[in-house]
Amino acid sequence: MSLRILHFSDVHLPVPPGAYRLTEIFHPKRGVALINFALRRAAKYRDAQQKLNGLRDFLTREPVDYLLYTGDTLNFGLEGEFMAGAPRLMETLALARRGALAVPGNHDLYTHGGRALHRKYFAPLLRSDLPEACTPTGFPLVRWLGDDAVAIAFNSARPRLPFWDSSGRVPALELDALEQLLDMPEIAARRHIFLMTHYPFDEAGYFHGLRNSRALLRVLQGRENLVLLHGHNHRPYTHFLPDSATPVYCAGSLSKAGGESFWFFDLFGTTVNARRGHWRNARFVLAE
């Protein structure tokens, strides 16, 4: 039996009118970021809601069994953004026929208050098929994908006070839990193990990459059947981990004007067939 899985990321829904509260704007990180956003980013993601609607339209034409989402729904982690954005994302994830799994991005956990807001507004997404594997951070989360595959989500996003630092880190607790999960016979025996997190699985860029990627890669070393999914970088690409046959897929951004993308996977037995989704003539289509 085949499975269809769609992976998308980095929707960055526009800040809704009235979402700015003075106390939130004068946060030392947000003040500079707001100027940066107004100057550079806002125009590129202005139509993010249209792109999310476009994904919903695509899913009615090409239904999938599972949706996997790797974070950055918001921009500044303002409570008004959570209130408007969380229901829209969750309505989209509910369109998968059998289930969904999601992790936050650094723009969802923008300040220290972001963790509590994320837990409050995205609570339905924090459910695991193996809750006993969760650490006090709330991750890793497990979703069985039929009988032959599984998805495991761990969190690499964290609040950082300096506005120039958007680096990520996998908490040590989650690394240990991930190792134990990958050693479990009922997981190791699966034909496909999708590991998903917001940050790329490498250290590229001290202030933009995953600080403890080497520790993460040590946990993954020598394991077969892995497929690695991430977002954060707003352009889609795929490559193999160095010296391995493990594929890595970056979904890019669903909504970045001119670069809209996602990955669409068909699983047949041991084969994973990956195609890219593009935005063409105001709708999402699959690349030939």
Where on the chain is the footprint of Fe ion (CB under 5 A)? 10, 72, 105-106, 232
Nearer to Fe ion, 44 or 278 (CB): 44
Q: Which residue is nearest to Fe ion (CB)?
A: 72
DSSP state of 13: P
CB of 288 to Fe ion, least distance (A): 28
Nearer to Fe ion, 166 or 225 (CB): 166
CB of 139 to Fe ion, least distance (A): 16
Nearer to Fe ion, 10 or 81 (CB): 10
Question: How far apart, in whole angstroms, are the C-alpha atoms of residue 155 and residue 18?
Answer: 30
CB of 198 to Fe ion, least distance (A): 6
Question: How far apart, in whole angstroms, are the C-alpha atoms of residue 173 and residue 140?
Answer: 9
* Nearest in space to 92 (alpha carbons), one of 284, 249, 272: 284
Nearer to Fe ion, 54 or 77 (CB): 77
CB of 107 to Fe ion, least distance (A): 6
CB of 29 to Fe ion, least distance (A): 14
Is the CB of residue 2 less than 8 Å from the CB of residue 146? no
Peptide bond into 14 cis (omega under 30): no
Residue spans of alpha helices (H) in 97-229:
114-121, 172-183, 185-188, 213-220
CA atoms within 13 A on the CB side of 271: 7
* Nearest in space to 189 (alpha carbons), one of 223, 161, 217, 219: 223
Nearer to Fe ion, 225 or 253 (CB): 253
Q: How many helices (H) and strands (E) does the chain have?
A: 8, 12
Sign of torsion, CA 6 129 199 122?
positive
Nearer to Fe ion, 72 or 174 (CB): 72
CB count, 10 Å around CB of 181? Answer: 21
CB of 232 to Fe ion, least distance (A): 4
Nearer to Fe ion, 5 or 250 (CB): 250
CB of 9 to Fe ion, least distance (A): 7
CB of 72 to Fe ion, least distance (A): 3
DSSP state of 38: I
For strands 247-250 and 99-102, give the pairing: unpaired
Nearer to Fe ion, 26 or 206 (CB): 206
Question: How far apart, in whole angstroms, are the C-alpha atoms of residue 105 and residue 95?
Answer: 21
